[in-house]
């Protein structure tokens, strides 16, 4: 598939750009500008004039050079002709945000077919229609909404614009960012299979997160998943009969029985999430952490209660928390304050320092398959003591603004932070299930 550099346009046309605040043709153009896209930006509007400080062109055919990308936000009936014009102008990729296609009934379905015929005739690849755009923070190019720009390692592919936007927003707020967002929309041309293949070769992307209602091309999808070398995290909707009915109203996808999906996920070592929250945290774990090589978990904490909750959930998920060896215990007793409880959880109690966490990791890590470090109060230097580790789950809680600052530092150093010990255990459990040390 010739999509190898489709997502690296050096210029962008916004067809249906609008000067009216609140209209999508305005919001999207503004976000492209405000995201700092370094190439040329061409607003296209039959009335011409100036929009957001840029001269608008009446038609894409009047541009001197072909833009690398056209974002289309014109009424559905106009879209087939717009696509033809794009093709003739030499545009290789169009993102059609406009709705009113297959999702809206028979007439829309005809329009969608016509659009794709035109695209094929003129060699234009299509994302959408009826999608929420794309976001490529590494260019940067935010051709969607809301405006989010933080670079990271997770590529988001979504059959729901809102769920994609929610993921981007959480990643931005938590300081991790994302490597790409593709809103699939009606998938009239490019689909999830194409983008799994694309992001497999996309350097900034370390993990691929996909919200899916149904697949367009079953066998191709299966092959793409099975051969993908990067961790995959799926939120597959339609686990229940009612959910599958709701999917038919939403995207007309055939959801398929969930038992079959579950077996496929297990076999192909996909991290399968059942909720938006798990989808978010599993994606962080997939991009930044390694799978555990066994079930032995060490919990180090400055909050006894959080250590207990970690222990409960870990035991419920099949992990074991053996006590440190006598030798390690003796070594630690020399380094830790006298009120520290040397066990598993290892509880520093209230007086913990970053040095204590470092000492505990140094002395104990070799005895365990994975470690969870819980920071129950913000501890100066905590970020440095955990940065760069890939078999360590970091949980921060109870620290207010100071903690948010410290968590931000951890994110900047490439350590995802989890908001509770239970969520961290769920991530560890999902990482175990997706262990690909024996290949996918």
Interacting positions 291-320 with a copy of itself (CB under 8 A): 302-309, 311-316, 320
CB of 351 to a copy of itself, least distance (A): 9
Name residues contacting a copy of itself, limited to 154-213 (CB under 8 A). Answer: 158-166, 169, 211, 213
Contacts (CB under 8 A) with a copy of itself, residues 363-392: 376-377
Which one, 49 or 322, has the nearer CB to a copy of itself? 322
- From 11-19, 61-69, 152-160, 365-373, span contacting a copy of itself (CB under 8 A): 152-160
| CA–CA gap between residue 182 and residue 167 (Å, rounded) | 12
Q: What letter does residue 60 receive in the DSSP assignment?
A: G
Comparing CA positions, the residue from 347, 349, 431, 355 lying closest to residue 393 is 431
**Minimum Å distance from CB 255 to a copy of itself?**
9
3-state secondary structure of 107: helix
Q: Is 275 in the site for a copy of itself (CB under 8 A)?
A: yes
In sequence order, the 6+-apart residues with CB closer than 8 A to the CB of 312 are: none
Answer whether 154's CB lies under 8 Å from 172's CB: no
247 lines the binding site for a copy of itself (CB under 8 A): yes
**Residue 222, beta-bridge partner list:** none
147 lines the binding site for a copy of itself (CB under 8 A): yes
Distant-in-sequence, close-in-space partners of 401: CB < 8 Å, separation ≥ 6: none
Q: Which C-beta is closer to a copy of itself: that of 115 or that of 251?
A: 251
128 binds a copy of itself (CB under 8 A): no
Q: According to the binding rule CB under 8 A, does residue 146 interact with a copy of itself? A: yes
Which residue's CB is nearer to a copy of itself, number 193 or number 311? 311
Pair 140, 179: CB distance under 8 Å: no
- Residues 89, 142, 224, 397: which binds a copy of itself (CB under 8 A)? 397
400 sits near a copy of itself (criterion: CB under 8 A): yes
- Size, binding site for a copy of itself by CB under 8 A: 74
Contact residue for a copy of itself among 3, 11, 349, 353 (CB under 8 A): 349
Q: Least distance (Å) from a copy of itself to the CB of residue 301?
A: 9
The CA-atom distances, in angstroms, between 172 and each of 181, 232, 251, 276, 389 are 12, 20, 28, 16, 21
Provide the strand spans (E) within 79-204.
93-96, 125-127, 134-136, 141-143, 151-158, 178-183
Does position 100 interact with a copy of itself (CB under 8 A)? The reply is yes
Pairing of strands 370-375, 93-96: unpaired
Piece of 113-121, 223-231, 237-245, 324-332 that binds a copy of itself (CB under 8 A): 237-245
Secondary structure class of 187 (helix, strand, coil): coil
Q: Of residues 85, 174, 347, 406, which one binds a copy of itself by CB under 8 A?
A: 347
Read off the tokens for 417: 């932070």
- Quick one: which of 50, 274, 327, 355 contacts a copy of itself (CB under 8 A)? 274
């Amino acid at each position: 598939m010739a999509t190898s550099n489709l997502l690296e346009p050096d210029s962008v046309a916004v067809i249906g750009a609008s000067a009216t605040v609140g209209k999508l043709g305005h919001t999207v153009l503004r976000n492209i500008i405000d995201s700092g896209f370094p190439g040329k930006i061409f607003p296209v509007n039959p009335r011409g004039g100036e929009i957001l400080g840029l001269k608008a062109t009446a038609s894409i055919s009047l541009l001197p050079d072909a833009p690398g990308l056209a974002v289309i936000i014109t009424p559905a009936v106009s879209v087939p002709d717009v696509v033809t014009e794009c093709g003739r102008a030499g545009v290789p990729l169009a993102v059609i945000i406009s709705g009113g296609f297959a999702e809206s009934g028979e007439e829309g379905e005809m329009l969608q077919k016509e659009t794709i015929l035109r695209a094929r005739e003129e060699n234009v690849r299509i994302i959408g229609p009826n999608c929420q755009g794309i976001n490529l923070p590494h260019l940067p190019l935010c051709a969607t909404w809301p405006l989010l720009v933080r670079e990271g390692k997770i590529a988001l592919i979504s059959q729901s614009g809102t769920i994609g936007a929610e993921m981007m927003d959480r990643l931005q707020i938590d300081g991790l960012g994302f490597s790409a967002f593709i809103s699939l929309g009606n998938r009239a041309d490019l689909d999830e299979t194409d983008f799994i293949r694309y992001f497999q070769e996309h350097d900034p992307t370390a993990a691929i997160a996909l919200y899916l209602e149904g697949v367009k091309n079953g066998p191709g999808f299966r092959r793409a998943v099975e051969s993908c070398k990067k961790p995959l995290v799926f939120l597959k909707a339609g686990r229940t009969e009612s959910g599958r009915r709701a999917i038919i109203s939403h995207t007309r996808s055939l959801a398929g029985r969930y038992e079959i999906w579950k077996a496929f996920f297990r076999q192909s070592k996909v991290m399968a999430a059942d909720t938006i929250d798990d989808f978010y945290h599993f994606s962080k774990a997939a991009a930044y952490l390694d799978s555990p090589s066994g079930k032995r978990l060490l919990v180090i904490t400055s909050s006894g209660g959080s250590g207990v909750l970690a222990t409960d959930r870990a035991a419920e998920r099949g992990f074991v928390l053996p006590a440190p060896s006598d030798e390690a215990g003796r070594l630690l007793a020399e380094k830790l304050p006298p009120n520290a409880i040397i066990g598993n959880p290892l509880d520093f109690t209230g007086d913990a320092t970053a040095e204590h966490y470092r000492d505990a990791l140094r002395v104990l890590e070799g005895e365990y398959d994975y470690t969870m470090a819980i920071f129950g109060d913000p501890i100066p230097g905590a970020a440095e003591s955990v940065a760069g580790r890939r078999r360590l789950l970091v949980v921060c809680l109870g620290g207010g603004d100071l903690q948010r600052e410290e968590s931000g530092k951890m994110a900047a150093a490439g350590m995802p932070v989890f908001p509770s010990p239970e969520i961290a255990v769920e991530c560890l459990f999902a990482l175990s299930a997706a262990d690909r040390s024996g290949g996918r």
